Amino acid sequence: MNQATATPSTPTFKDRDSTDLIVVHCSATKTSADIGVRDITQWHIQRGFDTVGYHYVIRRNGELETGRPESAIGAHVRGHNSNSIGICLAGGVDANNTPENNFTPAQFATLKVLLDKLNARYPQAKILGHRDLSPDKNGDGKITPNEFIKACPSFDVGQWLAGHAL
Ligand SMILES: [Zn+2]
């Protein structure tokens, strides 16, 4: 592709006052797409954000990448950005773009380690999936690509947590 590459303009971040939610997302990309923070940053800039909306991204190989500073207000879920941390797992749709729980064991292992740390830092925060917050799809056009898929993050975070006590 010859598409011009958007350059992030050093964004200034505002810190959150509270952290009540830790929201798990997926990128709604196919298993063949080895994407990470760099790719998502481009998509989010094209959508009008300053930079990547998530605080963390977990690549297909389980590698953890940092997006926004953890203390900053994110841009990943309508109505809850000011009090939440956003984590995005690469993947989540099948070859026909249908939501599918197709994350790798390495991704789930990294998610577990990350959530353990975040849970220790923010013991009051509730961990859930994006779909558990039932976002309003008819928004202002400033939502991330995965927000178009109600199934995000394509698996039941509560059920998964129940089997992986923090
Ligand atoms: Zn989402």
Task: Tell me, in angstroms, the distance from the centre of ligand 1 to residue 146's CA.
Answer: 5
Task: Tell me, in angstroms, the distance from the centre of ligand 1 to residue 41's CA.
Answer: 15
The verdict on whether 56 is a catalytic residue reads: no
Cα 47 to Cα 101: distance, rounded to the nearest angstrom: 26
Sheet containing strand 56-58, edge to edge, reads 64-66, 56-58, 84-89, 21-26, 126-129
| Amino acid 49: pLDDT | 87
In a domain, 66, yes or no: yes
Q: Structural domain tally of the chain?
A: 1
In a domain, 127, yes or no: yes
In a domain, 154, yes or no: yes
Domain CATH for 68: 3.40.80.10
Assigned token pair, 150: 């109600």
In a domain, 155, yes or no: yes
In a domain, 13, yes or no: no
pLDDT in single tens digits along all 166 residues of the chain: 444 555 556 678 899 999 999 999 999 999 999 999 999 999 999 988 889 999 999 999 999 999 999 999 999 998 899 999 999 999 999 999 999 999 999 999 999 999 999 999 999 999 999 988 865 555 654 444 455 556 899 999 989 999 887 7
| Residue 25 belongs to domain spanning | 21-162
As a whole number of Å, the end-to-end CA separation of the chain is 43
Cα 37 to Cα 117: distance, rounded to the nearest angstrom: 20
Cα 161 to Cα 123: distance, rounded to the nearest angstrom: 15
Assigned token pair, 75: 């841009």
Task: Tell me, in angstroms, the distance from the centre of ligand 1 to residue 151's CA.
Answer: 8
In a domain, 2, yes or no: no
| Amino acid 139: pLDDT | 60
- In the set 126, 137, 142, 150, the catalytic residue is 150
The verdict on whether 25 is a catalytic residue reads: yes
Place of tokens 């309508």: 78
- Residues 140-154: tens digit of each pLDDT: 544 444 555 568 999
The verdict on whether 130 is a catalytic residue reads: yes
In a domain, 140, yes or no: yes
